[in-house]
């Protein structure tokens, strides 16, 4: 993937938007040291380049009953393209799977899964994940606490 050239103002805009995407263009421009019109053009250019994607609001997992955070390593039965694609499609349909990474090394995938409680995770693991035709085995690691969490990339 080609890296896009960003100047200092672009980087300030990105840092500010990652902290608060609800800022008005005027407030954002002032904080970034740019005019509102220039700031708006820069944002539109970064959207068109794919640098800026969806604007979202972050939800507190504990307050909506999804406070159990599990890292799950998955080993596949087969590495055939169709088997991997079928598994990746399966993951896309599961709302409790927050992240899924194809990995190098001993395990094939690393998943971050949220659940309401340990029993909820067990249901997902036993009924869904381990019943998938292409899954050989999985190992679960329960997070005791969240030491750091950020969605902001260093730019």
Mean pLDDT of the 45-62 span: 95
Q: In what order do the strands lie in the sheet with 68-76?
A: 97-102, 109-115, 68-76, 135-142
| DSSP secondary structure code for residue 127 in this structure | I
Cα dihedral sign, 135-106-108-125: positive
Residue-level pLDDT at 3:
74
Backbone angles phi, psi at 41, to 5 degrees: -60, -40
Mean pLDDT of the 53-80 span: 96
- Nearest in space to 15 (alpha carbons), one of 23, 101, 124: 23
Q: Is the pLDDT of residue 33 over 60?
A: yes
Q: CA 36 to CA 120: how far, in whole Å?
A: 48
Mean pLDDT of the chain: 96
Task: List the single range of 3-12, 62-71, 132-141 with lowest mean pLDDT.
Answer: 3-12
Q: Is the pLDDT of residue 105 over 70?
A: yes
Q: Is the pLDDT of residue 104 over 60?
A: yes
Q: Is the pLDDT of residue 1 over 60?
A: no
């Amino acid at each position: 993937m080609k890296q896009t050239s960003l100047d200092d103002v672009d980087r300030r805009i990105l840092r500010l938007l990652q902290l608060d995407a609800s800022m008005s263009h005027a407030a954002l421009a002032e904080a970034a040291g740019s005019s509102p019109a220039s700031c708006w053009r820069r944002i539109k250019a970064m959207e068109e380049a794919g640098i800026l994607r969806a604007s979202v609001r972050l939800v507190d997992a504990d307050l909506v009953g999804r406070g159990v955070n599990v890292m799950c390593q998955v080993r596949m039965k087969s590495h055939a393209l169709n088997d991997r694609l079928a598994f990746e499609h399966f993951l896309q349909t599961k709302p409790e799977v927050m992240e899924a990474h194809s990995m190098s090394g001993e395990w094939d995938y690393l998943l971050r899964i949220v659940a309401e409680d340990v029993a909820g995770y067990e249901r997902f693991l036993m009924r869904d994940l381990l019943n998938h035709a292409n899954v050989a085995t999985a190992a679960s690691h329960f997070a005791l606490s969240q030491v750091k969490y950020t969605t902001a990339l260093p730019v």
